[in-house]
Amino acid sequence: MEKKVIYVVSDSVGETAEFVTKAALSQFINENEYDIYRIPYVENTEVLRGAVYHAKQLGAMIGFTLVNRDLRAFLTREAVEKNVECVDILGPMIEAMERKFSLQPKQEPGLIHKLDEDYFKRVEAIEFAVRYDDGRDPRGVAQADIVLIGVSRTSKTPLSQYLAHKQLKVANVPIVPEVEPPKTLFEIPSHKCIGLRISSEKLNDIRKERLKSLGLDDKAFYANLDRIEAELSFFDQIIQRLNCPVIDVSNKAVEETANSIMNMINQPYWDFHEHQAKE
């Protein structure tokens, strides 16, 4: 029997959404007959759009707890547009209390959780991922625990954010034929770099969908197959120079790629913990 898949989305930890989801699932199937993928600490619509995209690809449904009404509305619209089953777990209760008490909700996620040491480490890692996203500041490459490299639309940003919630400081660098990667990239230990490879056909589909979502012509140069092949060829050249690990993300959800990376850094050769201790 094929496992049922549910995405749990939250702008906080996501424990409430996961608990309710499991309680509902217990009325239908056993625990080993489903997979729950939790996407916590959502702060922007890009992550929500990605969640809906992956849910659509896997035939999954989404349960969410978002206190921000704009994010709730966006996710609901996106899910309806993509025909993905999506359930607002917290919103109806908040709206009912707003009517009953004639008060405005604070719209601040995570108020129920204490600010502990792990929380602050996660916040620091998340801020790091934002600061050094998309190669905007090459100084982050030397300071990062992990550096993700790949062409545009290989999920570098959502993956950086996901790993940040695991307290990992992640920088990501876009690979573009016209731009030489930062020199620092070739000076750090090769296994700290992780290449994100994707098939040209898959990337072509993703970029076309991206252009359509922006109201642009899907035949633009950005989604041209020859251009994509050139970018991937340049990516392979950089990987050869770096001699770093590579993960094929063509048919992987962000969570799957993140798990692969976590498995990598738990290998004996990885001196990640030593690196942390020196900081």
In the annotated binding site for ADP, the residues are: 150-157
Amino acid at 243: N
User: Binding site membership: which residues?
Assistant: 150-157
Residues with Cβ within 8 Å of 85's Cβ and at least 6 positions away in sequence, in order, are: 61, 62, 79
Residues with Cβ within 8 Å of 263's Cβ and at least 6 positions away in sequence, in order, are: none
CA–CA separation, 58 vs 61, rounded Å? 9
b/e 217-242 (16+ beta carbons within 10 angstroms → b) = eeeeebbeeebbeebbebbeebbeeb
Q: What are phi and psi of 121, to 5 degrees?
A: -65, -40
| DSSP one-letter string for 166-231 | TT--EEEEE-BTTBPPPGGGGTS-GGGEEEEE--HHHHHHHHHHHHHHTT--TTSGGG-HHHHHHH
34 beta partners: 4
CA–CA separation, 149 vs 254, rounded Å? 15
**Other Cβ atoms closer than 10 A to 32:** 8
Q: Angle, nearest 10°, between helix axes 45-58 and 69-82?
A: 30
